[in-house]
Amino acid sequence: MGPVVNNRVWFRVEHGAQLRTYALTLNADEDDALENAQMEYIYEEQMADAAFPLVSLNGLVYGWNTGATKNTSSYTFGPASLLFEHNIRNPKRIRKEAAFDVWGHCFYLCGGYPAKGRNRDILATGEVYNAATNQWSSLPVMFQSRCSFAAKVHKGYLYVTGGVGEVPAAGTTVLRSGERLQLGVAGARWQRLPDLAVPRYGHCMFVLHDKLHVCGGCNRDGMPLTGMEVYDASLNLWSSVRPAERPGVRQAPVSACVTLAVPYKVLC
């Protein structure tokens, strides 16, 4: 799933060699909200080597295709004006299984592995896109190369945790480590975080009650994880929480992936 802009959820669906962008509108104020769900077909684009998820910056939906083919297009779409712009720059590095988040008018992208390379050529580099200038610039290099990890901006810091990475003398392994980068500060460098209690990859990270929460994903044996860990920045400490002990479970997004099934009609 992608961003929520103008009360619509934006996402991409792969159809053969094409990527199609849709918007799903749910009217949550009415009793028959699900019956009134509307799926709008927005745009079709050529499949590229790597297609980043849609993000929202300054009220616009941004879609990046990062392949090197001539048919590749990156764009913004104005939900109010219904206008496309195709002059959006691609990142310098084509990546797969990278992690990202947005902060202000910037899109932060880091890690992953080269779309044209091998999945063991894992990256520690990152880039930031400034929507105000339509320019990409390099982020400081992380301590650890990572792919299939989680990233989240919280209180002016970009946090990354876990994933799969290359470790000296150990080869490719599932990671427990984490780090953070202070944003908007010239000369800032990544800072190491305490290790997670459990190595994990393919997980999600979110903020609840002013604390970072990590949940889901898989361990080194590829088994799904049900436990959650919570980071308190004031104590610089992770704590483990068993599923039955999750505070505010009714309000918290406690799964890494949610499937939404609703009746809908397509507007073409």
The reported pTM is 0.83
Is residue 175 pLDDT above 70, yes or no? yes
Burial 196-233 (b: 16+ CB within 10 A, else e): bebbbbbbbbbeeeeebbbbbbbeeeeeebebbbbbee
pLDDT in tens, 180-238: 999 999 999 999 999 999 999 999 999 998 999 999 999 999 999 988 999 999 999 99
Inter-residue long-range contacts of 31-38, CB under 8 Å, 24+ positions, other chains counted: 34/262, 34/263, 35/263, 37/262, 37/263, 37/264, 37/265, 38/264, 38/265, 38/267
Pick from 128, 142, 97: which is nearest to 115 by CA? Answer: 97
Is residue 31 pLDDT above 70, yes or no? no
- Count the neighbouring beta carbons within 10 Å of the beta carbon of residue 9: 17
- Strands 164-167 and 126-130 come out as unpaired
Is residue 101 a contact partner of residue 69, using CB atoms and an 8 Å limit? Answer: no
Min mean pLDDT across 26-40, 67-81, 109-123 is at 26-40
- Of the pLDDT bands very low, low, confident and very high (cuts 50, 70, 90), residue 246 is very low
